[in-house]
Amino acid sequence: MAGSSSPLDQFLIKKIIPIEVGGLDFSFTNSALFMFLAVALSSGFLLYGIRKMAIMPTRLQTFVELIFQFVADTLKDGASEKARKFFPLVFSLFIFVLTCNILGMIPGAFTVTSHFTVTFALAAVVFFAIVGYGFYKHGLRFLGVFAPSGVPLVMQFLMVPIELISFLARPFSLAIRLGANMMAGHILLKVIAGFAVSLGALNILFSAAPILFLMIVIAFEFLVAFIQAYIFAVLTCVYLNDAVNLH
């Protein structure tokens, strides 16, 4: 939510350290900075919380364990106990997305998850993990996910293309859902904040209502930050179910 004239300016990627090799741009940007921050802060927090594992855990250790258990239960409910091996992937995605979402709420910060390139890269990791593991475990039988059991052979000619398109659309829907929600929320915050400042320039009392509404929206956006990370994790588990259990 950078202090700029246009609500869309907050999503601009800016070079911090220009780096060009062989005509290719490898510059270190504000997007890269906040991704590094997300990884460093989340890793530091989790490691600090479990640095001294005790039978009588501290509040911080209890909180970290609750996060672990929350993600583990989500994975179990979405893809069964057989998917336990994917816990590191699902947990890492959940924590990374959640941390990026929360960092984006800081005034002047950059919201990494508002960019389709980032969310699509995350969704692509999930997609290729599913496809790779599906063929690794089931071989060509994995193609059975495109031919639902119990459907008459004649209907299969219609169902297979539909299932294939639906399967290939998963990374796009996963990426767009996250990016669009984060972008829309931050645009709304920027517009309301600008409206409050404009009214405040006329009379401080005029800005009271917009400021109150802004506070409500900010609280709601923190909730959305968690919900979107949770939805990303849940859908990842649901998609993993195809590769693990081959329904």
pLDDT tens figures, 159-211: 888 888 989 999 999 999 999 999 888 888 878 777 766 666 555 665 666 77
Greatest mean pLDDT among 26-35, 90-99, 109-118, 200-209: 90-99
Q: What distances in angstroms separate CA 209 from CA 195, 199, 224, one per listed residue?
A: 10, 10, 22
Residue 101 or residue 196, greater confidence: 101
Give CA–CA dist 124/132, Å, rounded: 12
Residue 181 · residue 228 · CB < 8 Å: yes
Give CA–CA dist 191/207, Å, rounded: 13
Residue 131's pLDDT is 92
pLDDT, average across residues 66-78: 93
Secondary structure class of 52 (helix, strand, coil): coil
Written as one letter, the residue type at 49 is G
The CA-to-CA distance between both ends of the chain, in Å, stands at 44
Which tokens is 192 given?
């309301």
Residue 52 · residue 40 · CB < 8 Å: no
Mean pLDDT (the chain) is 85
Q: What distances in angstroms separate CA 51 from CA 37, 93, 105, one per listed residue?
A: 20, 22, 28
Give CA–CA dist 64/145, Å, rounded: 36
The residues that bridge with 25 in the sheet, in sequence order, are 20
pLDDT, average across residues 89-102: 95
Whether the pLDDT of residue 2 is over 50: the answer is: no
Residue 200's pLDDT is 60
Whether the pLDDT of residue 73 is over 70: the answer is: yes
Residue 205's pLDDT is 60
112 pLDDT band, cuts 50/70/90, is very high
Residue 50's pLDDT is 85
Residue 247's pLDDT is 63
Give CA–CA dist 95/77, Å, rounded: 18
Q: What distances in angstroms separate CA 96 from CA 34, 59, 113, 134, one per listed residue?
A: 11, 22, 10, 25
Q: What percent of the chain has pLDDT over 70?
A: 91
pLDDT, average across residues 52-57: 76
Give me the torsion for CA of 150, 154, 156, 161, rounded to 10°: -160
Whether the pLDDT of residue 236 is over 50: the answer is: yes
Residue 57 or residue 224, greater confidence: 224
Residue 206's pLDDT is 58
Whether the pLDDT of residue 3 is over 60: the answer is: no
Residue 196 or residue 77, greater confidence: 77
Residue 13's pLDDT is 87
Enter the pTM of the model: 0.87
Written as one letter, the residue type at 41 is L
Give CA–CA dist 154/160, Å, rounded: 11
